[in-house]
Amino acid sequence: MTEQELKQLLNSMTRKEKVGQTLQVMARFLMENTDDALMGSAAGFGWEKEDFDLAGAAIGTHGAEKLIALQKLQMERQPHGIPMLFMKDIIHGMRTVFPAPIGQGASFDPEMTEKCAQTAAKEAAVSGLHVTFSPMADLVRDARWGRVMESTGEDPYLNSRMTAAMVKGFQGKDLKEPGRVAACVKHFAGYGAAEAGRDYNTAEISEHTFRNAYLPAYEAGIQAGAAMVMTSFNTVDGIPATGNRHLMRDILRDEMGFEGVLISDFAAILETINHGYAEDKADAAKKALEAGVDIDMCTNVYSGNLCRLIEEGKIDERLLDEAVWRILKLKNDLGLFENPFKDADPEKEKEVILCPEHRALAREAAAKSFVLLKNDGVLPVSAEQKIAFIGPYVNRKEMLSSWAVAGEAKDSVTIQEAAQEVFAPERMAYCQGSPLLENGVRLVGFRTEEKMEYSAEECRQMEEEACNAAKEADVVILALGEHYLQSGEAASRAMIEIPEIQMELFRKVSAVNPNVVVVLFSGRPLDLREVSRKARAVLEVWMPGTEGGHAIADVLTGKVNPSGKLSMSFPYCVGQVPVYYNALNTGRPYKEGDEDRFLSRYLDIPNKPLYPFGYGLSYTEFSISELVLDRETLRPGETVTASVTVKNIGKCEGTEVVQLYIRDVAASVARPVKELKDFRKVTLKPGEVETVVFEISEEMLRFYKEGQGRVSEAGEFRVFVGNSSETENQRSFVLIKD
Ligand code: GLC
């Protein structure tokens, strides 16, 4: 449709029709008989039949046949036959599930992440979807928060690169292209700062930190062309994001230039009442529309109040027209007026979903997401060894994550299935060893039919079998970890530990065989003090996705040399949280070994995390030469070249992630001790050498300053280049501004 035709359509719509476009309902309600739905499963939402008939968007269902049928049904109900938008949380893959985003962040491979998003988009589009509620661009610093699993970590620059890569992967250059879906950057903004890591809790963020740490990744997604943004549940400066005009109109739309559709998070408009910001639904509707929220996700706040508020002169109808215009424009950008079914195709769906090419990508992406935290040489294992695979994750298919809502565990490849493809059975043993969780542990979410309760006798037998297998083995691969429902939305944990029943198994097995390799499944950093002390190797595999087992076998055997680097610090213990590398120095910084009394430190634990951001081992070893800068001063318009020589001094090919950090030593506001500004993945054969060169510009030195936007300030800057955020390989230069 031309813009002229779109304008004519908008002008021909009744007010009720326009309000219908601002409503998103669950697709499943629309597929039932309306009366049954309104009296039954949808009863509590307060919708009326007309709301269903006029709804402009639906959430939660995928499948070409279903959505083709629903689109036809809904267009018949629509007075102008306006097609619906079909949306779903395709966060890190649809049926082919890729590593959880915290793992994709650890790959430090935006190109790989873009491919994963593009593949997810292909499967989503052919299944009838138009929009995915991804990427989640929330910066995270608190491992107690369950949604760190969905984030790409604690660094603004890494998150920006990953968010932009996902937007490009999902959307391509033109939403009408086959195999593309609209991306939705979320949750705007600052949701990851939920106090005490408790989901939906208050976020208290200074303007300076909000601007310099939390906002950059959302902005990167918007600059990459994201078609949608989703509001966050938290307050910003005491005002719920979903009703926050300054946040949504001044920052998101005016400063960041976002012109797309702003959708609330689930019931977030209604929840402004709970926040104590709106008096009632009418007040909530008014404040959200004035803030520029275009679509009300799954409540009747807009549908039940906007018409009346306009009739009573309490809201300017132009605000409604503005919202509906953006919604119609998105539908037009997707080509839905010409082809309301877009890529939905039941036949193609069968070919594309989980095809070998997609599985191969999932396998590659998973292996690249793994982080080798410890290895005294016990890895890689060889096929000649006697290996005991023990643990609740040895043959467990549920390794997708709580946001793999379209993924099916049955499609996953377990460690045992993969190992049986590469290792001769006579030298292998496979046993569960223990339940994943103690009986009665509270979990919320989409429950699978797995066995959750075990008798004491069952536990005894499993443990005995495991210890016997461990005794006979040369090496034990102990596959442990969180339940997939222990991270994700509403899955905050105050004790960030491996389930105790698994730690008991770890201790029993380690007592009979010290050659233990721990393969750890988790959606967050965990307290690994005991495991890292006693195990000979620790491999963090996050929630690795559909091809997790194959990828783990590839890394354990050395077919793939691990190259992942932590996207989020692993705290020494939960008492250290929040802990992150890009912190301020404080006036009394503590360095390991300082004995002065009045320093910023703990009496009982170290300041340093157990494993820092950017850290990860390889099966080979790399040397990185002293950093060289080609100049000691920089003026705007010039660049400083920072170079190092990287050499593979080990015995096998491997990939190193060379990281560039910068510190602004003194500025008009305190600046972090380090900030990641660039990184480069370098793959070298044994003995090979490569010079890595980073270009540093004045723009890279800028930070947000209240009232001035992004500025750089003259003075000394320290440049660090190394293989983790703890590198001290540094040189300085001075920025001169005449
Ligand atoms: C949820 C999540 C959001 C998701 C939305 C739709 O509450 O906060 O990330 O996209 O609802 O499922």
Tokens of 677: 């500004």
Q: Which of the pair, 218 or 383, is modelled with greater confidence?
A: 218
Distance 736 CA to ligand 1 centre (A): 47
Residue 489 Cβ inside 6 Å of ligand 1? The answer reads yes
pLDDT of residue 242: 98
Closest by CA position to 290, among listed 277, 300, 299: 277
Residues 6 or more apart in contact with residue 246 via CB below 8 angstroms: 237, 239
pLDDT digits (tens, 9 = 90+) for 636-653: 999 999 999 999 999 999
Residues 6 or more apart in contact with residue 505 via CB below 8 angstroms: 390, 391, 433, 434, 463, 466, 478, 480
Alpha-helical runs (H) found in 341-483: 346-352, 356-369, 415-422, 456-472
pLDDT digits (tens, 9 = 90+) for 452-511: 889 999 999 999 999 999 999 999 999 999 999 999 999 999 999 999 999 999 999 999
pLDDT digits (tens, 9 = 90+) for 244-277: 999 999 999 999 999 999 999 999 999 999 999 9
Residue 266 Cβ inside 6 Å of ligand 1? The answer reads yes
For atom 11 of ligand 1, which residue has the closest CA? 266
Distance 489 CA to ligand 1 centre (A): 8
pLDDT of residue 35: 86
CB atoms near residue 527 (< 10 Å): 21
pLDDT digits (tens, 9 = 90+) for 413-426: 999 999 999 999 99
Tell me if the bond preceding 483 is cis, omega within 30° of 0.
Answer: no
Pocket mutation for ligand 1, best pick of 265, 269, 297 (most atoms within 8 Å of C-beta) = 265
Residue 403 Cβ inside 6 Å of ligand 1? The answer reads no
Are the beta carbons of 495 and 482 closer than 8 angstroms?
no
Distance 575 CA to ligand 1 centre (A): 29
Pocket mutation for ligand 1, best pick of 133, 140, 191, 401 (most atoms within 8 Å of C-beta) = 133
Closest by CA position to 266, among listed 519, 514, 60: 60
Residue environment code for 454-485, b if the CB has 16+ CB neighbours within 10 A, otherwise e = beeeebeebbeebbebbeebebbbbbbbbbbb
In terms of Cβ atoms closer than 10 Å to its own Cβ (0-12, 13-18, 19+), residue 567 is buried
Tell me if the bond preceding 189 is cis, omega within 30° of 0.
Answer: yes
Ligand 1 atom with least separation from CA of 91: 10
Distance 233 CA to ligand 1 centre (A): 10
Residue 138 Cβ inside 6 Å of ligand 1? The answer reads no
pLDDT of residue 612: 98
pLDDT of residue 37: 87
d(CA 92, CA 152): 11
Residue 337 Cβ inside 6 Å of ligand 1? The answer reads no
Closest by CA position to 252, among listed 187, 339, 349: 187
Q: How far is CA 254 from CA 217, 292, 432, 554, in A?
A: 17, 12, 56, 48
Average the pLDDT over 140-153 and give the result: 98
Return the minimum-mean-pLDDT range out of 373-382, 502-511, 587-596. Answer: 587-596
For atom 10 of ligand 1, which residue has the closest CA? 133
pLDDT of residue 445: 73
Distance 184 CA to ligand 1 centre (A): 11
pLDDT digits (tens, 9 = 90+) for 515-543: 999 999 999 999 999 999 999 999 999 99
d(CA 722, CA 727): 5
Ligand 1 atom with least separation from CA of 133: 10
d(CA 493, CA 237): 25
Distance 401 CA to ligand 1 centre (A): 14
d(CA 680, CA 655): 10
Ligand 1 atom with least separation from CA of 233: 8
Crossing angle for the helix pair 281-291 and 317-333, nearest 10 degrees?
60
Residue 265 Cβ inside 6 Å of ligand 1? The answer reads yes
Instruction: Identify the H or E element spanning 288.
Output: helix 281-291
pLDDT at 67 over 80: yes
Compute the CA torsion angle 353, 356, 358, 363 (nearest 10 deg). Answer: 130
Range list of β-strands (E), 335-417: 371-375, 387-390
Distance 297 CA to ligand 1 centre (A): 9
For atom 3 of ligand 1, which residue has the closest CA? 265
Crossing angle for the helix pair 356-369 and 548-556, nearest 10 degrees?
50
Q: How far is CA 178 from CA 94, 96, 244, 361, 496, in A?
A: 16, 18, 36, 20, 43
Residue 89 Cβ inside 6 Å of ligand 1? The answer reads yes
d(CA 563, CA 699): 30
Distance 213 CA to ligand 1 centre (A): 23
**Which of the following is catalytic: 265, 343, 345, 411?**
265
d(CA 485, CA 441): 11
pLDDT at 446 over 70: no
Residue environment code for 572-604, b if the CB has 16+ CB neighbours within 10 A, otherwise e = bbbebbbbbbbeeeeeeeeeeeeeeeeeebeee
Ligand 1 atom with least separation from CA of 150: 9
Residue 147 Cβ inside 6 Å of ligand 1? The answer reads no
pLDDT digits (tens, 9 = 90+) for 181-200: 999 999 999 999 999 999 99
Pocket mutation for ligand 1, best pick of 59, 87, 89 (most atoms within 8 Å of C-beta) = 89
pLDDT at 335 over 90: yes
Residue 200 Cβ inside 6 Å of ligand 1? The answer reads no
pLDDT of residue 448: 64
Are the beta carbons of 623 and 725 closer than 8 angstroms?
no
Q: Is 265 a catalytic residue?
A: yes
d(CA 115, CA 374): 29
443 — pLDDT class (breaks 50, 70, 90): confident
Ligand 1 atom with least separation from CA of 267: 7
Distance 529 CA to ligand 1 centre (A): 33
pLDDT digits (tens, 9 = 90+) for 279-291: 999 999 999 999 9
Residue 180 Cβ inside 6 Å of ligand 1? The answer reads no
For atom 12 of ligand 1, which residue has the closest CA? 89
pLDDT of residue 447: 62
d(CA 91, CA 489): 12
